[in-house]
Structure 1
C-alpha cells in the first residue's frame, strides 16, 4: 500500500493516470455519441459520415491530450496548444458546424418546416425532411414546366440558411399572384372582352380571394407591408399584332398550373360564345405586292 501511495505521489505517474482517465472518458463519449447518431439519423450514408466524424474528432482529442501531457510544461503553452487545436478543428469542420447550427436556426426561428415549398440555393421544391445536417426537397421544375415535380430528391446542407436568401411560398401567406395574357384582335369589342375576362376570373377565383383575405390581414398586422388588392385586376397593352389583356389574380401556391388552365379554358369558351364580337389573335404577317414593272426594249438601228 505504501508503495502504491508513493507511486501515486510521483508527478509523472499522476500525469499518466489523468491521461488514461481522459482517454477512457473520450472513448466512452465517442461510443455514446455514435449510439445517439444511430437513433437520430435515419439516412445510412449521413449516419455513417457523422459517426466517422465523431470518431475522428475524438481521436484528435486523444492525440493532442497525449501531446500536451508530455511536451507542455506551463499553462501558457496549454492555452496556445488548445487555441490552435480548436481553431484547426473549427476550420476543418466548419461546414459540418454550420450545418448543425443551421438545423437549430431552422427549428427555433421557423424559417421553414416539412411541407413548405421553398427555394434555396437556386433549387425549388417541397420540404419533405429536415435532419441535423441536411434539408431534403422534392424538386420542382428543371426540365418540366410550371410547378411540377421533376422526380429528383435533393439534399441541401442546412448551412445554406446563413449563405443566401430563402424563398418560402407557404410560411405565412400560402397564396401567390399569377398572370394570364389573353390576346385579342384590334377589331374585337374591347369593353366586352374586359368584361368577360374579369367576370370569369372573379367567379372562378372567388374562393381563393375569400380565403386569402383573412391571411392577408394577418400579414398586414404582423409585418410592415402595404395593403394589396386581392381581387382579379386587368391591364391592357396594345401591340402591332394584337391587344393584350393582362389578368392578374391570386391563387393557391400549389395550384398555379391548374388554375391557369381552368381560367384560360373558361375564358376561351366565353369568347367563342360572343360569335365574333371578340376574336382571339395570333401572329399576323402582311405580304406586300411587288409593283408591276414595264420594260421597253428599243430596237437596234
Structure 2
C-alpha cells in the first residue's frame, strides 16, 4: 500500500512544479516582509527587560535549538525511515530543517490569545531568529551527519543555508533600525509583518493545497505524522519543562508555544533559495508545507486548552519574568 503511494507522490513531483516560479517569488517576498515586521517590533528597551530577567530566554533557547531538532530527528527515525530511501531522505531534509529553524511570528498571536506573556514571546522570537544564523546550521550539520550516510547523493548544503539565513536577517536588522528612528512607521510595519504571516497560511490553503491535491493525497501517513507531531510534541515538551521548573503558568504557555511554533515561511524560503536546482525540491518541501498548514490547527486547539487555566489563581503566583 505504501509503495504505490510513494510512487504516485514521486510521479506528481516529476510531472509538475510543486511551487511555480510565481509562487516562489511571492513566498520569498512575503518572508522578507514578515522578517522586516519582526525587527520593526523591537526596541532597545525590549532587550534590556529581557536581559534583566533572562530565565525565559535561556529556557526558550535550550528548547528551541535543543528539543526541536532532537524531536525532528526522532520523528524521522521512527516514521520516515519506514519508507523507501529514495522518498524518505529528501523528505527528511525538509523535516530536519523544520525542526532547526527559529520560532515564527505566528507564535506571538497565539501567545496573546492563550493569555501568555506577549512581551516575552516577541523577544524570544527575535532572539531565536538572531541566533539561527549560528545554531540552525550547527544542529543541521549535527543531525544531518546521523541521517545521511557518508557518500550519499543527498547532503545538506550548510554553507548555502548560512548565506540564505544571513540574507534573511537583513530585513530584521533593517526593521529594528527603522523602529529606532520612527516608532510610528515601525509599529505599522510590525502590524504588516503579522498580517502577512497570516496571509502566508491563507495563501497556502487557497492556492497551493488545491493545486497539489494529488500530491497531498498520495503522501504517506508517516509524513503527516512527522509534520503534525513536530509542532504538537514541541509545545507539549517545552510546556512540561517550564512547568516542572515552576515558571509562572503564563510564561510556561509562552515558552511552549514559542518552542513548538516554528517559522514555517522561513523554512520554505530556505528550501526555495537553497535547493532551487534540486530535482527533489518537491519532496523536500512537503514537511515544511504540511507543518505550516497544520500548526495553525494544532496551536488553535492548544490555545483553547490553555485558556481554560484558572487565571484568578495565576494572579496569586508571582510572575518570574
Higher relative contact order (CA 8 A, sep 6+): 2
Which structure would you say has the larger Rg?
Answer: 1
Fold match by TM threshold 0.5: no
TM-score (norm 2): 0.22
Q: TM-score, normalised by structure 1?
A: 0.23
